[in-house]
């Protein structure tokens, strides 16, 4: 006699949600209950919470501010801004006419290859149209527009029409797949180091090394970098992605939350020293 197929995690989750939550808080509570019952893993829970979060966020909350925008001035010669493109390594750059309030288009970095190919090169002719959105634009609506229009970047403008910042599709997606609600709003907690139920420590990347040393009994130097995040980036030799791990002395560091610009949260676990047998 054949055994009946076991229900999938999606079917088991559906059965749990039959309780019909009445508001968002109850829905989140049910999702966490599903996680505790091993119906969802941590990544699935994180992404579902990210989707819920994106539906309530506006462009102004995650945009790259105007002061930090990397732009190209249409009046500069190609020889001047190519080293800038190489240094910043973005795939798309807003192009302005003298100031950041006058964005005239978007330049794709790959189009610069025509310059090296010896083709006739006119930056103005190669510009793609810039998309402008208000600061109040909902991220879920923006993501839908990004996908339908096959656009990857938007210029955020304020109520007076001035440029306030910019947003990329990667910035929006990171709110879903690049963030974790750490037990469950760890970033809002006052403490930088928190012991979780599994016996591991959740550590904010901005924790100063001197404070980390005091908590863990370590003696990491703070001469070259001030924070634990700086220590980890130096160890990798690059900005690591979520889920990557590294061992330093008797501590295991796992990247729990990170985006394309910086580390946010680390999961730290003490590793028992192995005593060599005689």
- For the segment 184-234, what is each residue's pLDDT rounded down to a tens digit? 444 545 578 988 766 789 899 999 999 999 999 999 998 888 899 999 999
Burial 155-192 (b: 16+ CB within 10 A, else e): bbbeeeeebbbbbbbebbbbbbebbbbbeeebeeeeeb
pLDDT of residue 156: 96
Render pLDDT for 59-118 as a digit per residue (tens, 0 to 9): 998 888 898 899 999 999 888 888 888 888 888 999 999 889 999 999 998 888 877 777
Instruction: Identify the burial level of 234 via C-beta atoms within 10 angstroms of its C-beta, where 0-12 means exposed, 13-18 middle and 19 or more buried.
Output: exposed
Q: Tell me the Cα Rg of the chain.
A: 23
Q: Which ranges in 89-208 belong to alpha helices (H)?
A: 113-116, 123-126, 139-149, 169-177
- Mean pLDDT for the chain overall: 82
What pLDDT score was predicted for residue 67? 86
User: Residue 185's pLDDT is what?
Assistant: 46
Contact 57, 175 (CB under 8 A): yes
| pLDDT, mean of residues 123-140 | 93
How many Cα atoms within 13 Å fall on the side-chain side of residue 201? 18
Inform me whether the pLDDT recorded for 183 exceeds 50. no
pLDDT reading at 44 higher than 60: yes
In CATH, the number for domain 193-270 is: 3.30.465.10
Q: Is the pLDDT of residue 163 over 90?
A: yes
* Residue (of 228, 224, 232, 237) closest to 210 by Cα position: 228
* pLDDT score of 178 more than 80: no
What is the pLDDT at residue 180?
Answer: 37
Top-tier CATH class for 60-177: alpha beta
pLDDT at 188: 46
- Going across the sheet that includes 153-157, the strands are 64-65, 163-168, 153-157, 132-134
pLDDT value at residue 30: 78
pLDDT value of position 18: 54
Half-sphere exposure of 266 (CA within 13 A, CB side): 29
Question: Which tens digits make up the pLDDT trace of 16-36?
Answer: 555 566 677 777 777 877 777
Q: What residue segments make up the domains of the chain, in order of their start?
A: 23-56, 60-177, 193-270
């Amino acid at each position: 006699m054949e055994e009946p197929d076991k229900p999938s995690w999606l079917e088991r989750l559906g059965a749990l949600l039959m309780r019909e939550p009445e508001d968002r808080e109850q829905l989140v509570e049910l999702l966490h209950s599903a996680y505790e019952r091993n119906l969802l893993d941590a990544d699935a829970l994180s992404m579902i919470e990210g989707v819920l979060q994106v539906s309530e966020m506006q462009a102004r909350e995650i945009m790259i501010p105007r002061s930090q925008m990397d732009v190209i001035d249409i009046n500069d010669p190609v020889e001047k801004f190519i080293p800038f493109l190489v240094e910043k390594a973005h795939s798309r750059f807003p192009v302005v006419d003298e100031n950041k309030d006058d964005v005239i288009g978007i330049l794709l970095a790959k189009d610069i290859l025509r310059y090296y190919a010896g083709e006739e090169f006119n930056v103005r002719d190669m510009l793609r149209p810039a998309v402008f959105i208000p600061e109040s634009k909902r991220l879920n609506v923006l993501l839908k527009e990004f996908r339908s229009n096959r656009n990857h970047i938007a210029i955020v403008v304020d109520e007076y029409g001035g440029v306030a910042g910019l947003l990329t599709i990667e910035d929006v997606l990171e709110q879903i797949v690049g963030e974790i609600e750490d037990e469950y709003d760890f970033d809002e907690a006052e403490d930088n180091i928190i012991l979780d139920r599994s016996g591991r420590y959740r550590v904010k990347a901005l924790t100063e090394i001197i404070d980390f040393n005091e908590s863990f009994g370590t003696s990491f130097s703070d001469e070259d970098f001030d924070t634990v995040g700086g220590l980890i980036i130096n160890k990798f030799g690059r900005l690591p992605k979520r889920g990557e791990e590294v061992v330093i002395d008797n501590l295991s560091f796992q990247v729990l939350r990170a985006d394309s610009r910086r580390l946010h949260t680390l999961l730290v676990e003490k590793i028992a020293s192995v005593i060599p047998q005689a």
